[in-house]
Amino acid sequence: MLAGRGFLGKGLDDGWEVRCPTCQHITELADTDDFDPGNIELPTTPPPGSGTTVALRVLALTRDCWSCGKDTVCLTGLYPQRPARGYAGLHTTDNPHTMALVQRLLQQHGHGSLAATIKSRYSRTMRERQLANGCAHCDALQGNFPVHEEAHRRLASGGVNGLDTLLVAVCPVLEWQAVIYDNSGGVVGI
């Protein structure tokens, strides 16, 4: 198998399938007897069979701002452009590491004005500061809970394609691994 293409493994139907090395590695770790999700060591190199980059879909939805009523784009998550068969994890911007990576990918790929709507804001509901979406028109906090509640409704009715793909961004695989290995939440099963 070529680097960046994954590896060939037995599929669920006894056939062969190409699998994602990053996801396969974490799955193999989870299957061990001494797996501790709170103590996962982040690899310093891509897993065998992996390329140095991965293409990720930056996902969003457009909604009415609660404050000014205008349409605003809210970033919702990251998903591989070509996930391995059986891959079912949408990494949401409810996780600060995912939101920071989304912001960096937007800036890197020429979407600086949209990246600027992501800021550290104080949420009265959460009683803490968090990286969150803001309205492009009035800068009002859009709130992770209402944004992700709407994203979940769209995912339930249309899967990952129920969300808008803003761009497909090339991301270093080590940065993607840091998101996948993060155990602080923000993953939705699709």
Q: What is the pLDDT of residue 66?
A: 93
Does 5 have pLDDT greater than 80? no
Question: Which tokens sit at 27?
Answer: 């799955």
Q: Whole-number mean pLDDT of the chain?
A: 81
Give the chain's length: 190
- Using DSSP's 3-state secondary structure scheme, residue 148 falls into helix
Sign of the CA dihedral 5, 7, 10, 15? positive
Domain boundaries, the chain: 53-189
**How far out from the chain centre does Cα 63 lie?**
19
Does 14 have pLDDT greater than 70? no
Question: Which tokens sit at 17?
Answer: 């399938």
Per-residue pLDDT of 121-152, as tens digits, reads 887 877 888 889 999 999 999 988 888 899 99
pLDDT band at residue 101 under the 50/70/90 scheme: very high
> Which of the two residues, 75 and 52, has the higher pLDDT score?
75
Q: What is the pLDDT of residue 62?
A: 96
Q: Show Cβ contacts of residue 26 under 8 Å, excluding neighbours closer than 6 positions.
A: 40, 180, 181
Average pLDDT over residues 102-107: 96
